[in-house]
């Protein structure tokens, strides 16, 4: 699990996912997300969805990002809310090849790089072995 590295910050998973919005529904999808229902916003916040963003490409590729103590727990908590059931029912038809609710059918992406994690590891190495505190440059080995 990836974590935030700010001092005193709680441990959070960084979750990135993708879905595909139907091309003919892209404009309406944008409109719906420009003014999400207030009770949906409050429910997301209350169930552990933090720093949650959606990014939509012109061809309908949707990328989502959220930080949460546990995506499994956050999804389960949202599943217990009435507002989520209504929202998922309305949003389900916006997506290509999705036969479950959107919040259950997204493809989770694997994080392969996080700057703060690597900087923290570098700082930890330097603190434990001052001889290693130099700057490492790109390898010239082939």
Active site residue 33: yes
Catalytic residue selected from 30, 33, 42, 80: 33
The Cα-based distances of 134 to 36, 73, 122, 126 in angstroms read 49, 41, 10, 8
**Rounded to an integer, what distance in angstroms lies between the CA atom of residue 57 and that of residue 26?**
9
Give the separation between CA 124 and CA 122, rounded to whole angstroms. 5
Q: Is 91 helix (H, G, I), strand (E, B) or coil?
A: helix
* Cβ atoms of residues 132 and 126 within 8 Å: yes
Query: Mind telling me the catalytic residues?
Result: 33
């Amino acid at each position: 699990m990836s974590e935030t590295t700010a001092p005193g910050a709680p441990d959070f998973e960084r979750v990135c996912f993708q879905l595909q919005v139907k091309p003919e529904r892209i404009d309406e999808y944008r409109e719906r997300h420009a003014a999400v229902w207030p009770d949906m916003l409050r429910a997301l916040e209350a169930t552990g969805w933090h720093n949650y963003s959606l990014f939509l490409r012109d061809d309908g590729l949707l990328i989502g990002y959220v930080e949460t103590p546990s995506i499994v727990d956050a999804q389960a908590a949202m599943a217990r809310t009435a507002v989520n059931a209504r929202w998922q029912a309305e949003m389900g038809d916006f997506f290509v090849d999705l036969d479950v609710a959107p919040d259950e059918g997204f493809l989770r992406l694997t994080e392969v790089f996080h700057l703060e994690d690597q900087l923290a590891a570098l700082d930890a190495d330097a603190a434990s072995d001052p001889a290693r505190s130099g700057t490492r440059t790109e390898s010239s080995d082939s």
